[in-house]
Structure 1
Amino acid sequence: MSGPRTYSSSPLSSGQRIDLDDQAVAHLIRVLRMGEGDAIRLFNGDGHEYAGQLCDVQKKGAAVMVGEILRSDAETALILQLGQVVSKGDRMDFTIQKATELGISDITPLWSERCEVRLKGERLDKKMEHWQKVAISACEQSGRNRIPTIHAPQHFADWAKDNNADVRLLLHPHRQKPLRDYAQPTSVALLVGPEGGFSEQEVEMAMSSGFAGLTLGPRILRTETAALAALSVFQFQWGDFS
């Protein structure tokens, strides 16, 4: 079935009629000029993609009749967790978008000593809502039916200490070993620092929490590039790229 993919926060089941939210209406009706009876595809993060047909189309609103399940995402064989120190400008958006496309399971924004971004209160709440929308949009584009979890920001040391993934890696050359030397994991945690990197004290703190070093070739990568390069390698080595 063809038709644009659209996210809905509502529970979905065949034969159900749901109202589309304002963002979906703006895109489908006012931008794409779709009308009564046109086909769309729906997902809400439950792992399924549903057929849908527009109905009750008006200037400021529209509904959709939910049809059959078109396809379902299998549970991922490799759980990928990203702890990313918050980066400036739109770099964090880029990381979340591309990590979602690459199959990330969980993303936790982190604070560290050299982090140049300071968010709290209402500004942080708005940023969290924005990041969630970035992930949803990436799912719409990439065909994912499961939305990654974006956790509330925390200090990197707390995230590292509480993490229990099978393989825990820090983008730093300290105590590294080839990925081929690891047994096939079911979960991998990746810790990525800010533009200025982690301090030596922070590196030691991560190592004491069970993280090992990882480097990606001889070149120095920007923080957003490093995370995505590493996730791609993990998917090739242990995940669904092989």
Structure 2
Amino acid sequence: MNLILLDPNDLTDDGYVCITDPRRLTHLRDVHRSTPGDLLTVGVQGGNMGKALLKELTAERAYFKLETLEEPPPPPLPVHLVLALPRPRMLARTLEHVTALGVKEITLLHTKRVEKSYWQSPELRPDKIHQHLLLGLEQARDTQLPIVTLSKGFRPFLEQQLPGLLSQRRGLLAHPGMPNACPRNINEPTLLLVGPEGGFINWEVEQLLAAGCEGMHLGPRILRVETAVTALLSRLF
């Protein structure tokens, strides 16, 4: 936790902050080893970052006095990530990684090679997704939560959502065997589509290319989804 991320409800009207949830309290005590008098980096969800003076730390609460709150969060990446829903453990890590890298729009998509049972995972509960996003923000010192959308049908996504997503974005389809290599250092609004383990099936690739996406690859190696997404975002932006 490189940032004490504050919910707006943690703030009081007189410029103080009160944290009571066990996760952040445990981190302050056992990882930061904070003591009253420490000046810590804080940020308000959806707002700015700054410093807060720790006044009190007990098993029940942490009490801070806000000193500054004027630093804006880092700029987001100009990308909407469409990710075929990975297995639950990989989903958790991937959400944290892409949030830390600055992705603010994420669509989790069903494709032919996505196991239907994945959609029943507790990791897709709103509170679980929210928790992984918070961990990514705390790691990267960011305050802007991504928007996560679940799209449980490939054809409805193709027909109803994709045209609008591509209307003002460059569509890039990451898939092994594509003729062109992943571009580098682009700075334009982008829709990045990444398939599941085993990749998109041929029909899905054909439909995405026909809709206006550009096929690309990351080289001859076959990477895990969480590794591929991180490599793609690093290379593209």
AA aligned to 1:166 is R
Question: How many correspondences in the alignment?
Answer: 229
Q: Tell me, in whole angstroms, the C-alpha distance in 2 between the residues paired with 1:178 and 1:96.
A: 22
Unpaired runs of 5+ in structure 2?
Answer: none
Alignment RMSD (CA, Å): 3.0
Distance 1:68 1:233, change over 3 A: same
Q: What's the CA shift for 1:58? A: 2.6
Q: Which residue of 1 aligns with 2:234?
A: 232
Q: Secondary structure at the match of 2:69?
A: strand
Q: What's the CA shift for 1:82? A: 1.0
- Which of 137, 140, 146 is the matching residue for 2:138? 140
Q: What's the CA shift for 1:15? A: 5.5
Q: Which residue of 2 aligns with 1:209?
A: 211
TM-score, length-normalised on structure 2? 0.81
Q: What's the CA shift for 1:156? A: 4.1
Are the aligned partners of 1:109 and 1:153 in contact in 2 as well (CA < 8 Å)?
A: yes
Percent same amino acid among aligned pairs? 25
AA aligned to 1:60 is E
Are the aligned partners of 1:13 and 1:66 in contact in 2 as well (CA < 8 Å)?
A: no
Q: Tell me, in whole angstroms, the C-alpha distance in 2 between the residues paired with 1:85 and 1:108.
A: 8
Q: Secondary structure at the match of 2:66?
A: strand
Distance 1:190 1:170, change over 3 A: same
Which deviates more, 134-143 or 147-156?
Answer: 147-156
Unpaired runs of 5+ in structure 1?
Answer: 236-242
Q: What's the CA shift for 1:221? A: 2.1
Q: Which residue of 2 aligns with 1:95?
A: 94
Are the aligned partners of 1:83 and 1:189 in contact in 2 as well (CA < 8 Å)?
A: yes
2:83 is equivalent to residue 84 of structure 1: yes
Are the aligned partners of 1:10 and 1:18 in contact in 2 as well (CA < 8 Å)?
A: no
Q: Tell me, in whole angstroms, the C-alpha distance in 2 between the residues paired with 1:185 and 1:136.
A: 26
Are the aligned partners of 2:2 and 2:141 in contact in 1 as well (CA < 8 Å)?
A: no
Q: What's the CA shift for 1:68? A: 0.9
Q: Tell me, in whole angstroms, the C-alpha distance in 1 between the residues paired with 2:129 and 2:73.
A: 23
TM-score, length-normalised on structure 1? 0.79
Are the aligned partners of 1:8 and 1:21 in contact in 2 as well (CA < 8 Å)?
A: no
Q: Tell me, in whole angstroms, the C-alpha distance in 1 between the residues paired with 2:47 and 2:128.
A: 22
Which deviates more, 157-166 or 200-209?
Answer: 157-166
Q: Which residue of 2 aligns with 1:169?
A: 172
Q: Which residue of 1 aligns with 2:201?
A: 199
Q: Tell me, in whole angstroms, the C-alpha distance in 2 between the residues paired with 1:30 and 1:17.
A: 23
Q: What's the CA shift for 1:84? A: 0.9
AA aligned to 2:174 is L
Q: Secondary structure at the match of 2:68?
A: strand
Q: What's the CA shift for 1:69? A: 2.4
Q: What's the CA shift for 1:45? A: 3.2
Distance 1:228 1:177, change over 3 A: closer
Q: What's the CA shift for 1:232? A: 0.9
Are the aligned partners of 2:182 and 2:232 in contact in 1 as well (CA < 8 Å)?
A: no
